[in-house]
Chains A and B, each alone.
Chain A
Amino acid sequence: MNFTVKTQIMDAEKMRRTLIRISHEIVEKNKGTDNLALIGIRRRGVPLAQRLAKHIAEIEGVTLPVGVLDITLYRDDLTTIDHQPVVQKTEVPFPVTNKKIILVDDVLYTGRTARAALDAIMDLGRPEAIQLAILVDRGHRELPIRADYVGKNVPTSKKEIVAVNLVEIDGSDEVQILEAAE
């Protein structure tokens, strides 16, 4: 199916400001950076987590550890999809037990990815708390999950796609809403 760009909801500058704002919110809500760690969900949650860590370092002068989470093995739809996704490495180079984990992803939609990520983190240890940071919340939740930090709430139709492009992966920073071409 072909998609056309319906609208751009974030450009590079707006994305930068949004991530700085979320960084401030993380520091404020947790009253500093004690015991905090970031974990990005593959793929686009990972560079976002790294950018948040960079902004927090600029704000507080503390560099937080960043982990990478692959949730493939925790998906609840493996038995219903035609071909299973390629499993990638999970790299969380710090113990999660007793840490406050900021889980980072680009888009929050049905909530199933976040649920899988929660399971995956729990299998690595017992964190003190897990908070969810999301660049775009597009609604249509199928599970009782909400984000603690939201870059932008964007009401969408289920036929639309929220495309997050990041320099690290896609060569540019922008968020677009795509819709199926007629």
Chain B
Amino acid sequence: MWKRKDLLGLKELSADEINLILDTAVPMKDIIKREIKKVPTLRGRSMVTLFYEPSTRTRTSFEIAAKYLSADTSSLTVATSSVVKGETLIDTGKTIEVMGADVIVIRHEAAGAPHLLAQRIKSRVINAGDGMHEHPTQGLLDMFTIREKKGKLADLKIAILGDILHSRVARSNIWGLTKFGAKVRVVGPSTLLPKEVQRMGVEVFQSAEEALKDVDVINVLRVQRERQKKGLLPSLREYSNLYGLDRKRLALAKPDALVMHPGPMNRGVEIMPDVYDSLHSVVDEQVTNGVAVRMAILYLLMGGKNVNEVVN
């Protein structure tokens, strides 16, 4: 049974709570496949997206998920809001709350921003990415996709390849997958591997060739060009030569290995076009599953009563 007010990160969730979300996403995915993609479940509920960073798929995915469940949606575009006049995060959140929003989906460049907001308002808060900290819905959709394709998470060898340092996707994946007994390994240039990563229960590699041997899943991360100003990479070309996922490196993994990518992709940098277009790639399915997982989360957070009465 779901008892939390908010969804802030996978680190704090138990395996049972994650399982409930993934199990609820299964029937939600069936709705997406129907001709009439709409159920009346959340009629009269409202969701507002508050994104301080750009996003295509996450915000659209949340909006579509809410609409399939008949909730009303609004999006607040920070660039044209009172945020540019200096309004604080909490004041913005409170304004949205008193307009009647049942749930606020927030993306913010600062780690912990959704947690701060969740403590200060009664509306439910979903973290859609906070700085370099967590991206729980991406982690959940990745886990859903792996579980769907492989039938389990336990004992699978899963490599997360690329810019681990800046990746909230990597952190959510690691915290989520290790709770189910998956054997997670991370690989990337030493400048892009955070020091604390070893304490997260993963194996750390600097050679892509070693890390990809016999893995069941390769989760390729985007090279975050916007965060590379500190000279952590000599050049994109060198990165691509050493860590780009091409056919040769893919062949080191198990023959039925899945290739995943949270998007958006730099084709030809971290992943070669022919690998992305190969049968191993489940990137498009990840996007579909993202809607199903977000429908499950919205249902679990907004389905019962007291939506505006429970505070943590």
Q: Which positions in A face B, CB cutoff 8 Å?
A: 70, 72-75, 78-84, 86-90, 119-120, 123-125
Contacts and interface: CB of A to CB of B under 8 A. Distances in A.
9 contacts: A72-B41, A73-B41, A75-B41, A78-B41, A79-B307, A84-B2, A123-B34, A123-B36, A124-B34
A160 to B, nearest CB: 26
Interface stretch (B23-31, B158-166, B223-231, B236-244): B23-31
Interface string B285-312: 0000000000010011001111100000
B72 to A, nearest CB: 14
Nearest to B42: A78
B40 A74 contact: yes
B161 to A, nearest CB: 34
Interface string B1-21: 111000000000000000010
Most buried by A among B40, B42, B296: B40
Contacts of A88: 27
B23 A86 contact: yes
Nearest to A95: B35
Nearest to A79: B305
B305 A80 contact: yes
Given A79-B45, A81-B305, A87-B296, 20 more contacts: A73-B31, A73-B40, A73-B69, A74-B41, A78-B41, A79-B44, A79-B305, A81-B304, A82-B304, A82-B305, A83-B1, A83-B3, A83-B304, A84-B2, A84-B300, A86-B24, A89-B26, A120-B39, A123-B38, A124-B36
Contacts of A120: 39
B39 A73 contact: yes
A158 B303 CA distance: 27
Interface in B71-127: none
A82 B299 contact: no
B40 A119 contact: yes
A84 B27 contact: no
Given A89-B26, A124-B34, A84 B40 contact: no
Given A88-B27, A90-B27, A123 B39 contact: yes
A125 B299 contact: no
B37 to A, nearest CB: 9
B27 A70 contact: yes
A119 B44 CA distance: 17
Given A80-B305, A81-B305, A90 B40 contact: no
B73 to A, nearest CB: 18
A78 B299 CA distance: 10
A83 B2 contact: yes
A78 B30 contact: no
B36, B299, B304 — which one has the most chain A CB atoms within 10 A of its CB?
B304
A87 B34 contact: no
Contacts of A87: 24, 27-28, 296, 299
A84 B301 CA distance: 9
Contacts of A124: 34, 36
A79 B26 CA distance: 22
Contacts of B300: 84
B26 to A, nearest CB: 6
Contact of A89 (B30, B39, B40, B42): B30
